[in-house]
Structure 1
Amino acid sequence: MSKKPATRGPVSTFIHHHYRHFNAAALIDAADGYSAHIDAGGKMMVCLAGAMSTAELGLSLAEMIRQDKVHLISCTGANLEEDVFNLVAHDYYERVPHYRTLSTEEEVGLLNRHMNRVTDTCIPEGEAMRRMETAMLEVWTRADKEGKRFFPHEFFYQVLLSGKYKEFYQIDPKDSWMLAAAEKNLPIIVPGWEDATLGNMYAAAVIRGDIKNVHTVRTGIEYMTWLAEFYTETTKKNSLGMFQIGGGIAGDFPICVVPMLHQDLQRDSVPLWGYFCQISDSTTSYGSYSGAVPNEKITWGKLGAETPRFIVESDATIVAPLIFASILGW
């Protein structure tokens, strides 16, 4: 078990007292296991699926990054961009608490107003997506003209660190996990970036001829080759753990690096993942990877018999902030 924080705030005090059984107990076990991994000198990768940035996970994740509780992030293109959308357009977002009862006509009304709905939250196209398209086109085309290539997250870092868009910030900058990551130059891998809104905009820019070299933005295979070397070097000194929020490519992509290193590159001395936790509301079912229990990953050479492994079958928008609060001692 992890050593207790020097001080334990009201949130972590409450959950450690009340969360004693079932998924609640699994939440505590996962949080304490995370802390124990870090306390022992381990490093942690956090995987973001779904729309956790639009759920404003930055309110807790940004502080996790600042306090060196996160050392690598794997996320979807949506999570990469939506934290920045929220940063520059938060006041234009609209919440639709009655989203379950929206009529087709009401959905069309949102479309006509260019309000893109994610569950109960609508992202404003003009103030969020188009504003960032303008910013990204500037760094994309500059790199293209100079014959330089960067990963998707590196282009975001260039925009954020330039300070050019500070005047548009509509939330406290400390609540943006992307800004916290940029300030630390935190490594990020973004598999399947092409299906994100800005990935689509990049494709459109290539089609229009604004960008001449389609490879100006580096690809998923390059992310995997980078991750292979990062994992190999990092685990020479530190165990690397994996904290997966949701399912899908954000977790599926990076966890495969270990069997690839072992089976395809014969780097047999590379250790397995040193910690694993998944928060998911996908129930175990036939052929469901997101709903598969962690033990299944042993058969694929991803986790070992001794790897601390946890699954919290619940809503990540509720669970993840509580786990981070516990780790941070809030």
Structure 2
Amino acid sequence: MPTEAPVSEFITRYFKHFNAAALLDAARGYELQLNKGSRMLVSMAGAMSTAELGKIFSEMIRQDKVHIISCTGANLEEDVMNLVAHSHYKRLPNYRELSPEQEWQLLENGLNRVTDTCIPEEEAFRRLQKHIFEIWKEADQAGERYFPHEFLYKLLLSGVLEPYYEIDLKDSWMYAAAEKNLPLVCPGWEDSTLGNIFASYVIKGELSPQTMRSGIEYMTYLAEWYMANSKNGIGFFQIGGGIAGDFPICVVPMLYQDLEQEDTPFWSYFCQISDSTTSYGSYSGAVPNEKITWGKLGIDTPKFIIESDATIVAPLIFAYLLKM
């Protein structure tokens, strides 16, 4: 095949069966949603930011192929950490062979490991801490309240991190999202590193917990967004499992069961990239039809599940949609 042929052509020609075919079907379904004017939510669990998904996900944001994001606190902050500390990251291809003693040595060297990649504590966490604290403190003193992602948007757009940039700014999905003020929900933010740091300031009496808007407020924010944007349907593209997916998908049954808004439409498309095992009672590994019983998807909702590695699958689907 000619080397200049785009990835999308390669996928169309060669991805014919099993998970490869599911990938192509899901990409075509995503494209169909966009073509009919539907909105798309993308949820990100796992360590997608540390896996540098921003290199391609940022372009999805810029080209309006994603309209709202749900992500873990780790993905929220780790994209910014990669932006300012990339050269200090350390890759360990032999991570499976590390002894407990070698793991301890990484800790003592300020290297926190995520699979084969170590995040440098001093250059990543601490470099951000000083600047984000100033923004938290300013809001706290003014009696203002913001969501976790809004504080990071403020940080990125302030320009204060510019001297630290170590990657091309266009490869940061958080910066692309901040530029568009893209709607975002970050459930369970408190278990992230910045969440822990914020809590430490609360314990020390330096910040009020009220300065950070809560998960319940994220749900009400999402509910308002869903109803305002559901005219042509809203699709759900889930990378991994966990709270990043579980939280936003529940907005539909909440709206029509708990708020009794009977005209609430189901999600108009659903795709999940997962390697979780269904037989263990895993919600993350559940086949999409199970979500019908919970009032999240309809009988006719296009449903796809790709049982594979998200670090491989997500960039390929995004490349297909971007006609790369």
> Please, what TM-score do these two structures have when normalized by structure 1?
0.96
CA RMSD of aligned residues (A): 0.9
SS, match of residue 247 in structure 2: helix
How many residues in Structure 1 have an aligned counterpart in Structure 2?
321
Aligned to 1:142: 138
* Aligned residue in 2 for 1:301: 295
CA shift at 1:286, angstroms?
3.6
Looking at structure 2, the residues matched to 114 and 321 of structure 1 have their Cα atoms a distance apart, in angstroms, of 30
Q: SS state of the match for residue 238, structure 2?
A: strand
Residues 241 and 284 of structure 2 are in contact (CA less than 8 Å); yes or no, is this contact kept in structure 1? yes
Moved over 6 A (4+): none
Q: Do the aligned partners of 1:9 and 1:329 also contact (CA within 8 Å) in 2?
A: no
Separation in structure 2 between the aligned mates of residue 210 and residue 96 of structure 1, nearest angstrom: 38
Could you tell me how far apart the structure 1 residues matched to 2:251 and 2:317 are?
26
1:230 pairs with 2:225: yes
Using the TM superposition, give the Cα deviation of residue 289 of structure 1 relative to its aligned residue in structure 2, in angstroms.
0.3
Aligned-partner residue type, residue 247 of structure 1: G
Partner-residue secondary structure (3-state), 1:37: helix
Q: What secondary structure, in the 3-state scheme, does the structure 2 residue paired with 1:108 have?
A: helix
Structure 2 unpaired stretches of 5+: none
Match of 1:200 in 2: 196
Q: Establish whether residue 279 from structure 1 lines up as the match of residue 290 from structure 2.
A: no
- Which one-letter code corresponds to 1:23 in the other structure? N
- Equivalent residue number for residue 101 of structure 1: 97
User: Could you say what secondary structure the match of 1:285 adopts?
Assistant: helix
8 Å CA contact 2:291, 2:297 repeated in 1: yes
- Partner of 2:247 in structure 1? 253
Distance 1:143 1:238 in 2: 37
Q: Is the 8 A contact 2:36 2:232 kept in 1?
A: no
User: Unaligned 5+ residue runs, structure 1?
Assistant: 1-7
Counterpart residue number, 1:190? 186
Rounded to whole Å, the distance in 2 between the matches of 1:214 and 1:149 is: 10
260, 263, 275: which one aligns with 1:266: 260
Q: Give the whole-Å Cα distance in 1 for the aligned partners of 2:10 and 2:124.
A: 37
1:16, distance to aligned residue in structure 2 (A): 1.1
Q: Provide the C-alpha distance between the structure 2 equivalents of 1:164 and 1:141, rounded to a whole number of angstroms.
A: 16
Look up the equivalent residue of 1:170 and give its one-letter code.
E
Deviation at 1:9, TM superposition (A): 5.0
Secondary structure, in 3 states, of the residue corresponding to 1:179? helix
Query: The residue matched to 2:153 in structure 1 has which SS?
Result: helix
CA distance in 1, matches of 2:236, 2:229: 13
Question: Per-residue CA shift, 1:127-167, capped at 9, x if unaligned?
Answer: 00011111110110000000000000000000000011111
Cα offsets for 1:35-89 (capped at 9, x unmatched): 0000000010000000000000001100000000000000000000000000000
Q: 2:126 aligns with which of 126, 130, 133?
A: 130
Q: Distance in 1 between matches of 2:45 and 2:17?
A: 26
Counterpart CA distance in 2 for 1:9 and 1:65 is: 24
SS of the residue 2:278 aligns to: coil
**For residues 100-119 of structure 1, what are the structure 2 equivalents within 5 Å?**
100-119=96-115
**CA drift at 1:246:** 0.1
Distance (whole Å) between structure 1 residues aligned to residue 292 and residue 173 of structure 2 = 32
Q: Distance in 2 between matches of 1:283 and 1:25?
A: 20
Larger deviation, residues 294-303 vs 11-20: 11-20
